[in-house]
Amino acid sequence: MASIAGLAKPLGLLLALGFSATAFGAALVDSFDDASLPVITETGDRKGSVDPNWWLNAGAYVHRANGYLQTVQGKLDSTDRFRWLYAASNPTDTDNGYYPQNLLRLVTQAKFTNFSQQVFFNIAQINLSSSPNRNPSNGVFFFHRYQDGNNLYYVGIRVDGFAVVKKKIAGRYAVLKSVVVYPGPYHRETLPNLLPLHRWIGMKTELVSNASNEVDITLYLNDPQLGSGWTKILQVEDNGADGECIMEEGYAGIRSDFMDVSFDAYEAVENSKKN
């Protein structure tokens, strides 16, 4: 498995280190350096996960290695059981089962309602699958108020350089807002990714129901290319125009698509106050 141990971490990430995986009340802080839990293995339901803080819904494995949490890096061994399982269940998106990390879905065990969420991530490579689902909407995203795979909010950045807030209701996506962050002429074959590679980027969100029972969502990024510290990228209010607002508490977590990526300094912290 590829290592990124030699990469320098940004100041914001260094300040966030020193935590072990800890869940307390409506908060989860994980710097992914707990050597006693080296691997989180995909399970069919959350009850099957032996990790107290995480359920890996898709992606085969994530590894705590070199002080980070890493997806599968490169190809799975041909004899790995998940290679065979994905070859049978979804050969198109995983290149015959060799790249299950193309479908990373990592969900918290704790639920949140009005909360902030942050992580630092480092993309090692984009996996140029022939799948038709490798497209501009792929990227790195947070889950918010995750009820199930068909009902939740997504917030994050896409390989075409856009930041986006999306809602998924009964399996139907609605884009609430998007803005360009990393400009350029995305092209599936000639320029399939506009996100920085081999560099730590911080992503932070705040989600809260307001007094009008609408949902305010804000995204920040921490990338020297964008300025010093956390830069506010977009803010949007879900007023229910594109399907009902998701008001109930739900799970948090991380999604990435068609890439090898590492994570560090994850936090999800409840804020009980409404706007």
In tens, the pLDDT along 147-174 reads 999 999 999 999 999 999 999 999 999 9
pLDDT band, residue 145 (cuts 50/70/90): very high
C-alpha separations of 225 from 178, 184, 195, 202, 231 in Å: 19, 15, 11, 12, 10
Query: Which one, of 256, 268, 19, 12, lies nearest residue 124 by Cα?
Result: 256
- Separation of alpha carbons 3 and 263, rounded Å: 12
∠ CA 50-140-51, nearest 5°, is 5
What local confidence, expressed as pLDDT, does residue 101 receive? 98
Following DSSP, what letter does each residue of 130-155 receive, concatenated? --TT-STT-EEEEEEEEEETTEEEEE
Checking if the pLDDT of 6 tops 80, the result is no
Average pLDDT over residues 124-132: 98
CATH of segment(s) 11-270: 2.60.120.560
pLDDT band, residue 21 (cuts 50/70/90): very low
Domain ranges for the chain, please list them: 11-270
Q: Do residues 217 and 66 make contact, with C-beta atoms less than 8 angstroms apart?
A: no
Instruction: Kindly report the number of other CB atoms within 10 A of residue 196's CB atom.
Output: 14
Average pLDDT over residues 81-109: 98
What local confidence, expressed as pLDDT, does residue 234 receive? 98
What local confidence, expressed as pLDDT, does residue 35 receive? 82
Checking if the pLDDT of 274 tops 80, the result is no
Determine the 3-state secondary structure of 9 from DSSP. Answer: coil
- Separation of alpha carbons 236 and 189, rounded Å: 32
Determine the 3-state secondary structure of 180 from DSSP. Answer: strand
pLDDT band, residue 275 (cuts 50/70/90): low
- Least confident interval from 97-101, 136-140, 180-184, 208-212: 208-212
Please list, in sequence order, all residues whose beta carbon lies within 8 angstroms of the beta carbon of residue 235, skipping any fewer than 6 positions away.
Answer: 177, 216, 217, 218, 219
- Separation of alpha carbons 36 and 81, rounded Å: 23
Strands in 198-244 per DSSP E? 201-209, 215-222, 230-238
Query: Which one, of 131, 175, 130, lies nearest residue 156 by Cα?
Result: 175
> HSE of 142 in the Cβ direction (CA atoms, 13 Å)?
31
Checking if the pLDDT of 15 tops 60, the result is no
Determine the 3-state secondary structure of 7 from DSSP. Answer: coil
Q: Do residues 67 and 88 make contact, with C-beta atoms less than 8 angstroms apart?
A: no
Q: In DSSP terms, which residues pair with 31 in a beta bridge? A: none
Q: What is the pTM assigned to this prediction? A: 0.91
Determine the 3-state secondary structure of 81 from DSSP. Answer: helix
Q: pLDDT tens digits, residue range 24-74? A: 448 999 999 888 889 999 999 999 999 999 999 999 999 998 899 999 999
What local confidence, expressed as pLDDT, does residue 24 receive? 45
